[in-house]
Chain A
Amino acid sequence: QLVVSGGGLVKPGGSLRLACDASGFRLSDSYMSWVRQAPGKGLEWLSYISLSGSVSDYAASVDGRFTVSRDNARNSIYLQLSTLRVEDTAIYYCVREMLNGAFDLWGHGTLVTVSS
């Protein structure tokens, strides 16, 4: 399973670091992504990280503000959220990505609320 932590209430312009801890499988064998869902809205892919962490990719909406990383020894991945905006308010999910690009395992998600 995937357990996500680190969400909460933050002011516009602030920062947060989300963590995703994996259990039951080796994270080092898995490509990973982050996906978010604003309240009452659809799913938005945010970021991808390769097995070693050497390759990452971002949605245009968060490129330059969010940074994905991983620590395979800790079986964890992270998403650093910076320069947060009100429109970043959402549930943030950590997901395991299959070789064919489908997301087969979803964490329960953590709510990030950006508000003054």
Chain B
Amino acid sequence: ENVLTQSPGTLSLSPGDSATLFCRANHTVSNNHLAWYQQRPGQTPKLLIYGASTRATGIPDRFGGSGSGKDFTLTISRLEAEDFAVYYCQQSGYSPRTFGQGTKVDIK
């Protein structure tokens, strides 16, 4: 199994700040099949980034994904109130598909 470890567990920031979230796999994620999701309280997860760096439809360019191999990063610039949520990474290059445990971005 390709275990995804996200860090930090919680990120406390203020609106307007930038956030950097990390996702590390214990095996190479083949074909960069790495995605990021946002889940706001009480809501269904929403796809933000796929293929490690491609923004999904309608996702603002404040969200950026990077990385390859085992190490991936989600960057959120100029945090807005709606960005305070939990973020998950997910890989599907290695069976079984797996999610990271999540990073919570909350308001400082």
Which residue of chain A has its CB nearest to the CB of B1?
A: A60
Q: Are B96 and A109 in contact (CB under 8 A)?
A: no
Q: Are B51 and A45 in contact (CB under 8 A)?
A: no
Which residues of the other chain, A, contact B35 by a CB distance below 8 angstroms? Answer: 100-103
Chain B, range 60-108, C-beta contacts under 8 Å to A: 88, 90-93, 95-102
Task: Please tell me which one of the listed residues A59, A93, A101 contacts residue B92 in the complex, with CB atoms under 8 A apart.
Answer: A101
Q: Are B51 and A102 in contact (CB under 8 A)?
A: yes
Which residue of chain B has its CB nearest to the CB of A91?
A: B44
Which residues of the other chain, B, contact A104 by a CB distance below 8 angstroms? Answer: 47, 50, 56
Chain A, range 83-116, C-beta contacts under 8 Å to B: 93, 97-98, 100-104, 106-109
The docked-state distance in angstroms from the alpha carbon of A45 to that of B100 is 11
Q: Are A101 and B91 in contact (CB under 8 A)?
A: yes
* From B47, B97, B98, B102, residue with most partner A Cβ within 10 Å: B97
Which residues of the other chain, A, contact B39 by a CB distance below 8 angstroms? Answer: 43
Judge if B46 is at the interface, Cβ distance under 8 Å. Answer: yes
Give the size category of A's interface with B: 20 to 34
The docked-state distance in angstroms from the alpha carbon of A104 to that of B46 is 7
Give the size category of B's interface with A: 20 to 34
Q: Are B50 and A45 in contact (CB under 8 A)?
A: no
Judge if A42 is at the interface, Cβ distance under 8 Å. Answer: yes
Q: Are B45 and A42 in contact (CB under 8 A)?
A: no
The docked-state distance in angstroms from the alpha carbon of A14 to that of B91 is 31
Which residues of the other chain, B, contact A93 by a CB distance below 8 angstroms? Answer: 44-45
Which residues of the other chain, B, contact A109 by a CB distance below 8 angstroms? Answer: 44
Known: A101-B91, A102-B90, A104-B50. A45 touches B33 (CB 8 A): no
Judge if B31 is at the interface, Cβ distance under 8 Å. Answer: yes
The docked-state distance in angstroms from the alpha carbon of A109 to that of B97 is 19
The docked-state distance in angstroms from the alpha carbon of A93 to that of B90 is 15
Known: A42-B102, A43-B90, A106-B44. A100 touches B31 (CB 8 A): yes
Hey, which bits of chain A sit against chain B, CB under 8 A?
Answer: 33, 35, 42-45, 48, 57-60, 93, 97-98, 100-104, 106-109
